[in-house]
Amino acid sequence: MEPHNLTDTMEFLLLGLSEDPELQAILFALFLLIYLLTVLGNVLIILAISSDSNLHSPMYFFLYSLSLSDIGFSSTTVPKLLINMHTHNKSITYAACLTQVSFFFLFGCMDSLLLAVMAYDRWVAICYPLHYQVLLNPRLCRCLVIVSFCISLIDSQVHCLMVSQLKFCTNLEIPHFFCDVPELLKLACSDTTINNIVVFLVSIILGFLPASGIFYSYYKIVSSIVRVPSLLGKYKAFSTCGSHLSVVCLFYGTGLGVYLNSSISSSSRESVVPSIMYTMVVPMMNPFIYSLRNKDIKKALQKTFSQVI
């Protein structure tokens, strides 16, 4: 069949997770709860950091930015999934699909870069504590976040441009709950060789560089900590980066699982469950990990609650 521009047909169909009405009701309640916890948890982190002057430091400034990014990342996919499940309407317009692709990569890449920046923050704090305030001054912190946003924006627009160049035929069913680029490439009936190469290269570069920065930072951190003579000193040093390391393992572990599974398995449906972990569970877990392991955050949250009550 001759390919034609998708703007003629206007809509994709997101097949979602299940056709069973009873299971859909359970999943709707579960995903709604996850989304509400994600927004509430990250908003509380943002309010706590904003309202407590003791948390106006580089580490918490980056955590503030990560919470904003997590809200955006979760809001890119979950609300549309909930609407489709509630209305039993699986359609998503071409424009909405492109928008979803753009914001998905914007906030996904932003999360990855911010985690790398936070690893650098922990490296400086542990290895160069006396120079911490000088090396990570407010101006540099703002620049790191702005640069991360600009790189993420470029990444999102590259992916969006690649998708907008595709042409589709009659099969517009996406076996996923959001407009995932690999699935869109599979549906295209035009040549996707260049698209696949560009998307692969961009993903490798913007995935490899932050991961390498995190690995190098923790290599230097561990090298510094093992030279600390006392066990108490080692414990305190490790505890300052425990929350960040937990979030890194969750984010990269689930994200890597999604793309390894999609490259190994020929079934698109098998990547849905890892994608739920990647897009829903990780943004929800981040505020809990930081609040449960951080005494300063706990105190700030208690202070915020007492002011509200």
Q: What is the pLDDT of residues 59-85, one digit of tens each?
A: 899 999 999 999 999 999 999 999 988
Taking all residues of the chain, what is their mean pLDDT, rounded to a whole number?
Answer: 84
Is the model's pLDDT at 108 over the cut of 60?
Answer: yes
Q: What is the pLDDT of residue 267?
A: 55
Tell me the CA distances in angstroms from 304 to 21, 53, 86, one per residue in order: 41, 12, 34
Mean pLDDT of 108-134: 91
pLDDT-based confidence at residue 1 (cuts at 50, 70, 90): very low
pLDDT tens digits for 168-214? 877 788 888 899 888 888 888 888 888 888 877 887 787 788 889 99
Q: Which domains does the chain have, with CATH numbers?
A: 6-308 (1.20.1070.10)
Percent of the chain past pLDDT 70, that is, above it, reads: 88
Is the model's pLDDT at 6 over the cut of 80?
Answer: no
Query: Distance from first CA to last CA of the chain, Å, rounded?
Result: 64
Q: What is the pLDDT of residue 258?
A: 64
Is the model's pLDDT at 307 over the cut of 70?
Answer: no
pLDDT tens digits for 93-105? 999 999 999 999 9
The closest alpha carbon to 112, from 160, 56, 152, belongs to 152
Is the model's pLDDT at 2 over the cut of 50?
Answer: no
The lowest-confidence range among 18-32, 126-140, 232-246 is: 232-246
Instruction: Give the list of residues 6+ apart from residue 226 with CB closer than 8 angstroms, or none.
Output: 234
The closest alpha carbon to 3, from 182, 163, 171, 162, belongs to 171
Q: What is the pLDDT of residue 264?
A: 54
Q: What is the pLDDT of residue 231?
A: 75
Query: In angstroms, rounded to a whole number, what is the distance separating the alpha carbons of residues 189 and 206?
Result: 28
Query: In angstroms, rounded to a whole number, what is the distance separating the alpha carbons of residues 255 and 275?
Result: 8
Mean pLDDT of 44-48: 90
Is the model's pLDDT at 38 over the cut of 80?
Answer: yes
Is the model's pLDDT at 5 over the cut of 80?
Answer: no
Is the model's pLDDT at 126 over the cut of 70?
Answer: yes
Q: What are phi and psi of 168, to 5 degrees?
A: -125, 155
Is the model's pLDDT at 154 over the cut of 90?
Answer: yes
Give the length of the chain.
309
The closest alpha carbon to 280, from 76, 91, 114, belongs to 76
pTM for the full model?
0.89
Is the model's pLDDT at 25 over the cut of 90?
Answer: no
pLDDT tens digits for 237-293? 677 777 788 888 888 877 766 665 555 555 555 667 777 887 888 899 888 888 766
